[in-house]
Structure 1
Amino acid sequence: MIGLWQIVDRVRETSPELAGERLVSESLNLVRDMLVVGFKAGSSPYAPNGFKLWPNKDTDAIVEKIGQDWALLGRDPDLADIVWFLPPALNN
Structure 2
Amino acid sequence: MTISKARDLKIEFLILCQDDSTGLWLIIRITKNILGTKDADEIQKIILHLVLEFLKKQFIVVGFPLRDGTFKRWHGEPKELVEKIKIDWDQLDREPNLGDVIWFYITEKGSAELKRLNDWKKHHEKNLLNVVQKPKSLLSKLKALFLKKSH
Q: Place the TM-score, normalised by the shorter chain, in its bin.
A: 0.7 to 0.9
Residue 73, structure 1, aligned to residue 124, structure 2: no
1:41 to 2:62 alignment: yes
Query: Counterparts of 2:44 and 2:31 in 1: how far apart (Å)?
Result: 9
**In the superposition, relative to structure 1, how do residues 68 and 9 fare at CA in structure 2: closer, same or farther (>3 Å)?**
same
In the alignment, is the contact (CA less than 8 A) between 1:46 and 1:80 conserved in 2? no
Partner Cα separation in structure 2 for residue 70 and residue 51 of structure 1: 20
Deviations 1:36-78 (A, max 9, x none): 23211112x268xx7411132x110111111110000111111
Give the number of the structure whose residues are more often helix, by fraction: 2
Matched residue SS, 1:7:
helix
Structure 2: gaps spanning 5 or more residues: 1-20, 109-151
Give the fraction of aligned pairs with identical amino acids, expressed as a percent.
Answer: 31
Larger radius of gyration: 2
Tell me the TM-score normalised to structure 1 length: 0.79
1:52 is matched with which residue?
72
Paired residues of 2:85 and 2:101 also in contact (CA < 8 A): yes
Contact 1:70 1:77 in 2 (8 A): yes
Q: TM-score, normalised by structure 2?
A: 0.51
Structure-1 residue corresponding to 2:40: 20
Q: Which protein has greater RCO, CA pairs closer than 8 Å, 6+ apart?
A: 1
Structure 1: segments with no counterpart, 5+ residues: none
Is the aligned partner of 1:84 residue 2:103?
A: yes
